[in-house]
């Protein structure tokens, strides 16, 4: 998943400066003229600050020297101080009594978010805590798997995790990117996958467990000073939906039947590959077998799960044969946007962007789109390879640039999406059009002899399956992660690792590959958790991207199955896309959805997503007709992996049984608990 750098934000997560220990309370200042003057000054100063930070971050990102790192930190610290000064000025206004809705909305965007309500000492401590958490993650390295035998002559079972981390000779220098990511994607050795899963979770979680608990406390204190019950409520507030918690639940409830069909199909392939002693035919799936450290994307095990007749055309090979280069891929992306009536890239884009790996410096290769906050300079950084994935990524990143360009005339506080999901949703809606067989055929990367108009052809089913393996597990993982974080913000950290796996089991059907105990902190193996980054945006963005795609296809007068749509060359689709983009954050997400759908609805809907995957769902149902269960059945042994069952007086299950207790699995909300009968 590509992550976009929103350099124009005020870097709330890096705040470190002079702030007073005051609680957020509205005051009596409702002077509209003063508020307008304050926002006018802020608009100019914030854009200048953002530009300096973006330039410093760009230099470090493309040339990661210690000097550039220091300069970047200096600019980030200045921006942090500016943010907190701005926050203190903004809370002096009683925005509820200011009649101008735009002024009130801009003031609210300053006041509600961030952590500037903490006192200086605690604010400094919070930033120190976050730095410790991120440093531990970024510096974590594990030893290579040797397949050694244990001291008693047997093969390592994977349950003595300390041996897995330290028990090998040689250089222990494998990092999550690119080393472990590649291994998890390509290895088909279950012991090796289990080894790396355990090693990574040991290195990242337990060392910072107590540090993370301090972060929870400080984040909650900051949220309270900004007028929220806890930090989870503050994170949800950016979606401007009072029922957001229940909205997410309802959306997932509608998607769950499709996810369970995909899950059952994937499990069948894993049983074939690894055997029933590793994956139970009716049970959950061990989390290390899905081709990803967090089991959030299953695309990389397509070779294991797909039936024999399916075979993808070699689009990457065709690109090589036709002489595609990184530059040509981005020029082709630009032509896609000009074909629907959007403007071409400015000369500054082509002059300043980094479209392939730097040869003379140590740059970071994660793809990202950059706004330098001066309404002129927009860039992409991508270490592009000639491949279908990077071809689609080029369009994805250029959609972000188009968004920056379209809302550049808005006030600074509106130069972003209305919520954290909109940027990603728009970029992925374009990717749905570009990555489909219909578009690839139009631009000559797929043979014209292949039938794509009929949604049930082999090539379409494989395309849908590959996309479903990318989208649906990611949605399940994101809702499990965020529900866990909201829970620990509200209820506290007691039993938080067991809670992590309860939610992973409930939403994803995942269990750990080995027993987890009180001292483990497996959520800490995911960077977004320890770096204080919102994650539900990916769930929302996935729902929203299909809504956007459906509306653009309707505007393009598409007929036939939704997944065969391509709005390339549709000026009407481009007009709607431009209308939505130009608003930036000046409208709420609900208002933008209403604009997008031309008044039909203002709410998120999974109907377009379900329509998109309907041919695949029918195909999966046929493939799963002999399965014992669609979904997963959890047994006591599954739950015992992460929540050891205790009898009376704290005895173990065996002791409880000998004392006359019977442990039965009881299903409550998708989870297994114990009952005495």
Taking only the tens place, the pLDDT of each residue in 82-129 is 999 999 999 999 888 888 999 999 999 999 888 998 888 898 899 899
Annotated binding site for chloride: 239
Report the candidate in 53, 64, 51, 13 with the shortest Cα–Cα distance to residue 354.
64
Report the candidate in 471, 480, 481, 474 with the shortest Cα–Cα distance to residue 670.
480
Contact 310, 292 (CB under 8 A): no
Q: What percent of the chain stands above pLDDT 90?
A: 75
Structure tokens, 631: 């979904």
pLDDT for position 457: 82
Alpha carbon 85 to chain centroid, angstroms: 31
Query: pLDDT (tens digit, 9 = 90+) per residue, 552-599?
Result: 999 999 999 999 999 999 999 999 999 999 999 999 999 999 999 999
pLDDT of 400 higher than 90: yes
Phi and psi, residue 586, nearest 5°: -70, -20
306 contacts: CB under 8 Å, gap ≥ 6: 269, 462, 465
pLDDT of 548 higher than 60: yes
Mean pLDDT check: name the lowest of 159-173, 462-476, 598-612, 648-662.
648-662
**Average model confidence (pLDDT) across the chain:** 87
Q: What is the Cα–Cα distance from 298 to 290, expressed in whole angstroms?
A: 5
- Mapped onto helix, strand or coil, the DSSP state of residue 673 is strand
pLDDT for position 113: 83
Annotated binding site: 239, 396, 400, 424
* Token pair 């600019």 in the structure block, residue: 75
pLDDT for position 358: 75
pLDDT of 676 higher than 70: no
Task: Using the CB atoms, write b or e for 500-528: b if 16+ within 10 Å.
Answer: bbbbbbbbbbbbbbbebeeebbbbbbbbb
Query: pLDDT (tens digit, 9 = 90+) per residue, 236-277?
Result: 999 999 999 999 999 999 999 999 999 999 999 999 999 999
- The band of 665, judged by pLDDT with boundaries at 50, 70 and 90, is very low
pLDDT for position 414: 97
Of residues 359 and 249, the one with the higher pLDDT is 249
What secondary structure letter does DSSP report for 177? Answer: I
pLDDT for position 157: 36
What would the mean pLDDT of 153-173 be, rounded to a whole number?
46
Q: What is the Cα–Cα distance from 328 to 569, expressed in whole angstroms?
A: 19
Contact 391, 319 (CB under 8 A): yes
What would the mean pLDDT of 608-627 be, rounded to a whole number?
97
Enumerate the active-site residues: 397, 528
pTM summary value: 0.88
pLDDT of 21 higher than 90: no
Q: What is the Cα–Cα distance from 110 to 88, expressed in whole angstroms?
A: 10
pLDDT for position 456: 64
What secondary structure letter does DSSP report for 409? Answer: T
- The band of 30, judged by pLDDT with boundaries at 50, 70 and 90, is low
- The band of 150, judged by pLDDT with boundaries at 50, 70 and 90, is very low
Q: What is the 3-state secondary structure (H, E, C) of 394-428?
A: HHHHHHHHHHHHHCCCCCHHHCCCCCCCHHHHHHH
- Mapped onto helix, strand or coil, the DSSP state of residue 146 is coil
Burial class (CB in 10 A: 0-12, 13-18, 19+), 275: exposed
pLDDT of 10 higher than 50: no
Report the candidate in 293, 248, 296 with the shortest Cα–Cα distance to residue 537.
248
Helices and strands, counts by H and E, the chain = 27, 6
Q: What is the 3-state secondary structure (H, E, C) of 268-301?
A: HHHHHHHCCCCCCCCCCEECCCCCCCCCCCCHHH
Diameter of the chain measured on Cα atoms: 80
Q: What is the Cα–Cα distance from 523 to 209, expressed in whole angstroms?
A: 10
pLDDT for position 94: 87
pLDDT of 622 higher than 90: yes
Burial class (CB in 10 A: 0-12, 13-18, 19+), 154: exposed
Query: pLDDT (tens digit, 9 = 90+) per residue, 294-312?
Result: 999 999 999 999 877 666 7
What would the mean pLDDT of 44-70 be, rounded to a whole number?
95
- The band of 284, judged by pLDDT with boundaries at 50, 70 and 90, is very high
What would the mean pLDDT of 11-27 be, rounded to a whole number?
35
Terminal Cα-to-Cα distance of the chain (whole angstroms)? 48
Mean pLDDT check: name the lowest of 72-81, 318-327, 488-497, 612-621.
72-81
pLDDT for position 70: 93
pLDDT of 659 higher than 60: no
């Amino acid at each position: 998943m590509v992550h976009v750098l929103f350099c124009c934000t005020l870097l709330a997560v890096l705040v470190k400066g002079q702030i007073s220990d005051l609680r957020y309370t509205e005051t009596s200042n409702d002077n509209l003229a003063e508020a307008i003057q304050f926002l006018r000054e802020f608009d100019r100063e914030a854009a200048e600050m953002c530009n300096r930070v973006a330039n410093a971050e760009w230099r470090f990102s493309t040339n990661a020297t210690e000097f550039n790192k220091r300069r970047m930190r200096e600019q980030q610290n200045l921006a942090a101080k500016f943010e907190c000064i701005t926050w203190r000025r903004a809370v002096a206004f009683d925005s509820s009594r200011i009649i101008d809705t735009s002024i009130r909305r801009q003031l609210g965007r300053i006041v509600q978010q961030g952590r500037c309500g903490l006192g200086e000492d605690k604010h400094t401590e919070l930033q120190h805590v976050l730095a410790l958490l991120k440093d531990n993650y970024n510096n974590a390295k594990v030893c290579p798997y040797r397949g050694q035998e244990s001291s008693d002559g047997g093969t390592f079972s994977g349950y003595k995790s300390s041996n897995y981390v330290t028990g090998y000779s040689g250089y222990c220098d494998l990092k999550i990117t690119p080393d472990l990511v590649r291994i998890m994607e390509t290895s088909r050795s279950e012991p090796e996958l289990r080894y790396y899963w355990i090693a990574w979770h040991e290195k990242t979680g337990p060392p910072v467990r107590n540090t993370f608990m301090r972060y929870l406390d400080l984040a909650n204190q900051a949220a309270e000073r900004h007028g929220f019950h806890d930090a989870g409520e503050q994170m949800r507030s950016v979606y401007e939906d009072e029922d957001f918690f229940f909205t997410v639940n309802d959306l997932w409830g509608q998607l769950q039947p499709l996810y369970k069909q995909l899950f059952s199909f994937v499990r069948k392939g894993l049983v074939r590959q690894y055997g029933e002693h590793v994956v139970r035919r009716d049970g959950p799936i061990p989390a290390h077998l899905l081709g990803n450290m967090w089991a959030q994307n299953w695309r990389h095990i397509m070779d294991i799960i797909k039936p024999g007749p399916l075979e993808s055309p070699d689009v990457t090979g065709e690109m090589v044969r036709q002489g595609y280069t990184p530059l040509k891929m981005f020029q082709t992306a630009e032509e896609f946007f000009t074909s629907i009536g959007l403007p071409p890239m400015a000369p500054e884009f082509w002059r300043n962007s980094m479209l392939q790996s730097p040869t003379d410096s140590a740059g970071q290769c994660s793809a990202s789109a950059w706004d330098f906050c001066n309404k002129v300079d927009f860039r992409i950084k991508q270490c592009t390879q000639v491949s279908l994935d990077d071809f689609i990524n080029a369009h994805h990143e250029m959609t972000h640039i188009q968004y920056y360009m379209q809302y550049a005339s808005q006030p600074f506080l509106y130069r972003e999406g209305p919520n954290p999901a909109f940027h990603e949703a728009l970029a992925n809606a374009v990717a749905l059009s570009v990555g489909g067989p219909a578009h690839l055929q139009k631009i000559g990367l797929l043979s014209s002899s292949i039938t794509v108009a009929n949604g049930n052809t082999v090539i379409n089913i494989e395309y849908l399956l590959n996309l479903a393996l990318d989208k649906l597990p990611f949605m399940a993982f994101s809702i499990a992660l965020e529900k866990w974080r909201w829970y620990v913000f509200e209820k506290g950290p007691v039993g938080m690792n067991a809670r992590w796996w309860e939610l992973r089991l409930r939403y994803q059907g995942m269990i750990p590959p080995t027993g987890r105990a009180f001292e483990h902190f497996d959520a800490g193996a995911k960077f977004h958790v320890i770096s204080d980054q919102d994650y539900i945006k990916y769930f929302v963005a996935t729902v929203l991207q299909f809504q956007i795609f459906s509306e653009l296809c309707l505007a393009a007068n598409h007929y036939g199955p939704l997944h065969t749509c391509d709005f390339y060359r549709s000026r009407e689709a481009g007009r709607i896309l431009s209308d939505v983009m130009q608003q930036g954050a000046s409208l709420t997400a609900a208002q933008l959805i209403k604009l997008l759908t031309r008044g039909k609805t203002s709410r998120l809907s999974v109907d377009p997503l379900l329509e998109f995957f309907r041919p695949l769902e029918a195909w999966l149902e046929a493939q799963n007709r002999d399965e014992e269960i669609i979904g997963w059945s959890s047994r006591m042994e599954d739950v015992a992996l992460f929540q050891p069952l205790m009898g009376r007086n704290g005895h173990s299950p065996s002791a409880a049984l000998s004392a006359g207790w019977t442990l039965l699995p009881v299903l409550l909300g998708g989870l297994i608990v114990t009952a005495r009968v």
